[in-house]
Structure 1
């Protein structure tokens, strides 16, 4: 990845650095899957799965978080349900709606993602130092309030 436009050469906005880090982790997870003989989901599906893992259960919330249409979310959800990655169940509060959750029976994929994340965190710790990684973790876990 390039350093970006010259306008950002002195101090790139932190959002660009966070995005670069997200891509680093995403590529690392894909590489880890390849090394273990498993095909990783496309990035868009990975982002949907990550949102479900964070507790986002409703398709309209996923569409808002991902910045895509409700129809695009429905298509991805259908694909991921058929692949066994997520489960779609009826929303007890809205009979027309659905709630999404990770499929607990998809242990291999979930286990591999967790392994990859641990591997990448250990690698990042070796690169930036465990003290800096801990500071980063604390900063990202703070409640930032409303934007």
Structure 2
């Protein structure tokens, strides 16, 4: 890689931070309580029918303890609720509350608006190509 080019992971991280900064600002402007990046990531990983803490930890790449703490903060905020898993007597599912559903829909709308702003700045073709590349199955990371 030429010395004047920054590593791709650094560029991806900066792009992620752009969204992590823009989304709370957009939600606050819409009158929704902004969430931390960790809360947003966990909230976005939920299934509509409910998701276990263990599954949320796997999907977001954090420890179960970290996912549990973040989920608890969202329960305290009234955005999530914990309900028994109908398929297992030992597991609990996290689901959005009606307030959480409203916040989720506002976040989806805000993200679409941010993506539109990004397309205005970078060009629709560039954003489409970026999305296409990121949606591909990259396979398992090389081992050495």
1:91-143 deviations in whole A, cap 9, x for unaligned?
Answer: 34432222233335534312221221111011100111001111111111112
Distance 1:8 1:41, change over 3 A: farther
Structure 1 gap segments, 5+ residues each: 1-6
Greater Cα shift, 86-95 or 43-52 = 86-95
* TM-score, normalising length: structure 2: 0.79
Q: What value does the CA root-mean-square deviation take over the aligned residues?
A: 2.8
> Contact 1:32/1:116 (CA < 8 Å) preserved in 2?
yes
Distance 1:94 1:77 in 2: 20
Greater Cα shift, 132-141 or 83-92 = 83-92
* TM-score, normalising length: structure 1: 0.77
Following TM superposition, where does structure 1 have runs of at least 4 consecutive aligned residues deviating by more than 6 angstroms? none
Match of 1:135 in 2: 129
Distance 2:118 2:50 in 1: 27
Distance 1:114 1:141, change over 3 A: same
Alignment of 1:13-92 (within 5 A): 13-52=7-46, 57-92=51-86
Structure 2 gap segments, 5+ residues each: none
Distance 2:27 2:82 in 1: 25
Q: How many aligned positions are there?
A: 141
Distance 2:121 2:67 in 1: 36
